[in-house]
Each structure stands twice: as C-alpha cells, then as structure tokens.
Amino acid sequence: MTANENRQPAVQPRRIRFNYPVAALDRHFVQGDLVMSHMIAHLSAVFPPGEDFFIRSVRRYADQITDPGLKEQVKGFIGQEVTHGREHRALNERLQEMGYPTRRVAQLVDRRQQAIERRFSPLTCLAITAALEHFTAVFAETLLSDEKAQEVLGTSEVRSMLLWHAIEESEHRAVAFDVYRAVGGGETRRIRTMRIIRFSFPLAVVINTLISLFGDRAAYHPVRLFRSFAALRHSPFLTRAVFSRLGEYMQPGFHPNDRDNTDLLEHWEAKLFGEQGSLVDHLN
C-alpha cells in the first residue's frame, strides 16, 4: 500500500438540506446557458438511481471487509450517498416543475441499473461502481480546483449543492475501489470495465441531453443553440487535463489516492463548513 493510499480522508455524512423555492431558479439555471443547464439537469436526474446502485454494489460485500478502517469508510460512503440521493431528488422535483424530464430519466436509469444487476456478477457491478466513482471524483475535483468551473454555476442554490456534493465525492472517491480490491477484484476486470464506461457514460449523457433539449422551446432558436454548443469548447470540464485524469484509471497499479487532494478538501471544508462557512446554515 502506498503512502497516498494510507492518507484516507474522513468519510463522514453531513446532515444538510438545500432549498429551491419556486422563484429561486431561472429556467436555464447555469448562467443562462442552454446546453449546460440541460446537461446538469440530466446528471442530477441520473444521480439518485445511480447512487442507489453504488450503495447496493458496495453493501453486498460489506460483510467481507475485515479492515476496520475500510469498514468505517464503507459506512460513511453509504451515508453520504444516501444523502446525495435525497438532495438530488429534491432538486429534480424542482427541475421537473421547470420543464426538465428528470422523472423520466430517473426511471430509465433505474431500469437500466436493474438490468445490469440481473445480467452481470456482483463483482462486475462493483467494478462499474468504482469506475463511475472515478468519473464523479474527477469532475468534482475539477469543480473544486478550477475557478472557471465554479463561475459556470453562478451563485444559485444549485451551485451550493454541487459544491457540497463535490467535496463528499472527493472524500469517498477510493472507497468502492478499495472494496473491489479487498474482495479480490482483479486489474483485468477493472480496466476492461472502465474502457466500456469511458465510452458509454459520456455517450448516454450526450444523447439524453439532446433529447431533453428537444423539449425546450428555447432550443429552437438556432443562434442561441449554436452559441451554447460552441461554448462547450471552452468548458473547464472538457479539457485535455480532465480526459487525461479519466484515462489514468486504466493504468495498471492505479489508485484513486495517487493524486493527493488533502489540501483541496481542507480548503473547501473551511470555506463551506468552517466557522464562517457559507453553508453552515444548511447543516441540521
């Protein structure tokens, strides 16, 4: 085990609530950007059924974990993911009211996840979870470390919720991975699974974002739509560095903690939940 693998951050669920009053969000809530608003809405719709899948995948092996530290990490992982699902469901209901097809997307994803569980072994489901957790951690740490990424989300309650979510995804980024290794998951399955996920997950996001756009009258304004798509070229989430980090997962011997995020987490913990933290009033 490397030094970085030993530097596990605390995985402690935060008792937190966010609020989305009727007049609190603009229709295109990501700084008025058409495509990004639909993309973030789609990802939010995916999170609750996806996180339920992650919890089931990890929980199946919880009794096989003998390391006390990892056992505690698993408990924290499940607690955090349960809270993520609850808060995204609340946001998704608000987005549904605004015209985004979040309920339909969640139902489709849930059926797809159940089909995966029927078709593949529990260990492969755990490998899928570890791969997708790498995706979320890379994008979460991009948000936390890149000011341009933070500016994209403006100043709404959605921004606050996604920053909190990003911290916790970064805290538990290695848990599913470590469980997979602890129960005998091999490198071949892990890498092969990511090769599929690296293609299928972005493709699903693109397709479903386009379908969502078809239901938005604003998307039929060609100039606005073109400008919104053109802006993706400058997105901090679609840079060469981000794709490089995603690709690191497929290197033999990779571990999520090869990149130390301790300073990043300490910075945001103080900024959001310190004595003068901006989200202290959201904690229960």
CATH number for position 235: 1.10.620
pLDDT band at 2 (very low <50, low <70, confident <90, very high): very low
Quick check: 135 and 196 in contact, CB under 8 A? no
Would you state the structure tokens that stand for residue 193, as one six-digit string?
């699974």
Does residue 170 lie within any of the structural domains?
Answer: yes
What is the residue range of 62's domain? Answer: 29-273
pLDDT band at 154 (very low <50, low <70, confident <90, very high): confident
Does residue 264 lie within any of the structural domains?
Answer: yes
Would you state the structure tokens that stand for residue 200, as one six-digit string?
């299928």
Does residue 17 lie within any of the structural domains?
Answer: no
Vertex 239, ends 109 and 164: CA angle to 5°?
55
Does residue 267 lie within any of the structural domains?
Answer: yes
Does residue 279 lie within any of the structural domains?
Answer: no
Q: Is the pLDDT of residue 6 over 70?
A: no
Residue 138: closest CA among 75, 189, 89, 201: 201
Would you state the structure tokens that stand for residue 22, as one six-digit string?
């009727």
Matching residue, tokens 């994008």: 139
**Count of domains for the chain:** 1
* Per-residue pLDDT at 22: 65
Quick check: 212 and 101 in contact, CB under 8 A? yes
Does residue 63 lie within any of the structural domains?
Answer: yes
Q: Is the pLDDT of residue 250 over 70?
A: yes
Q: What is the pLDDT of residues 170-212, one digit of tens each?
A: 999 999 999 999 999 999 999 999 999 999 999 999 999 999 9
Does residue 180 lie within any of the structural domains?
Answer: yes
In angstroms, the CA 238 to CA 123 distance is: 30
CA distances from 262 to 4, 96, 133, 150, 266 (A): 10, 36, 18, 19, 6
Q: How many CB atoms lie within 10 A of CB 1?
A: 8
For the whole model, what pTM was predicted? 0.93
Q: Which residues contact 179 (CB under 8 A, 6 or more apart)?
A: 58, 61, 65, 70, 74, 126, 130
Does residue 68 lie within any of the structural domains?
Answer: yes
Residue 168: closest CA among 208, 200, 191, 141: 141
Matching residue, tokens 């990802």: 43
Lowest mean pLDDT of 15-24, 71-80, 125-134, name the range: 15-24
Q: How many CB atoms lie within 10 A of CB 152?
A: 20
